[in-house]
Amino acid sequence: MRGVRKAVSALVLAPGATASRDQNALVAIDDALAPEGVRVERIDFPYRLAGRRAPDRRPVLVASVVAAARKLADDLAVPQARIALGGRSMGGRMCSIAVAEGLPAAALVLVSYPLHPPGKPDRLRVEHFGAITVPCLFVSGTRDRFATPEEIEAATAAIAGPVTRVLVEKGDHGLRRRDEEVATIVASWVLALRL
């Protein structure tokens, strides 16, 4: 309807630790949302831009997400709360931390969220989940060594906002050769938020 404010104007997407803004899954999500009028801003972290392989420390990564989200809101002249954030693995995790630390957002899109390092379920990375109040989408493979389906369900129960969990059958952490499937899941969920 004309005049109705849409919840999501745009989506900032951050890559996993070993990838760039051109990571296949991020490009596929961008390609799925762009024709629907959702602007997608894929970002690189400072260490990638500097040609380094080792990720920056968490405060630098989170600050990069915050800066990208604020710039996109300014560019589009929309409130920060209409920008969704997310990404793959580490990138999504940094977005979730930024939101938990107070960055306004429309929603979080978390693909292959790394709950813990592989084989170390005692080292959970979820201490900030209780501070998240926005809608969250978790897309994970059923064979992800960073987070089993049971672990995802248990950990996300701490999130105050509504949580949608979608499992990709036989998918590993990289969700290899599943980019179109992931993009369809993400696009459908983001577009549903706009209704």
Close Cβ partners of 75 (under 8 Å, ≥ 6 residues apart): none
Query: What would the pLDDT profile of 165-190 be if each residue is shown by its tens digit?
Result: 999 999 999 999 999 999 999 999 99
Q: Of 32, 5, 149, nearest to 13 (Cα)?
A: 32
Looking at residue 80, its amino acid is: Q
What is the CATH number assigned to the segment(s) 10-193? 3.40.50.1820
- Token pair of 21, please? 């803004």
The reply to whether the predicted model has a pTM over 0.75 is: yes
Close Cβ partners of 146 (under 8 Å, ≥ 6 residues apart): 89, 112, 113, 114, 115, 116, 117, 118, 173
Query: What would the pLDDT profile of 121-142 be if each residue is shown by its tens digit?
Result: 999 999 999 999 999 999 999 9
Percentage of the chain beyond pLDDT 90 is 91
- CA distance to 13, 66, 71, 81, 100, per residue, from 75 (Å): 16, 14, 6, 14, 24
- Token pair of 194, please? 């706009």
- Contact status, residue 121 vs residue 89, Cβ threshold 8 Å: no
In angstroms and rounded to an integer, the radius of gyration of the C-alpha atoms of the chain is 15
Continuous H helices in 36-118: 46-49, 58-76, 90-100
pLDDT for 6 equals 52
Which sequence spans correspond to the domains of the chain? 10-193
Helix 179-193 / helix 24-33 crossing angle, nearest 10 deg: 40
With the C-alpha atoms ordered 14, 16, 18, 20, is the resulting torsion angle positive or negative?
negative
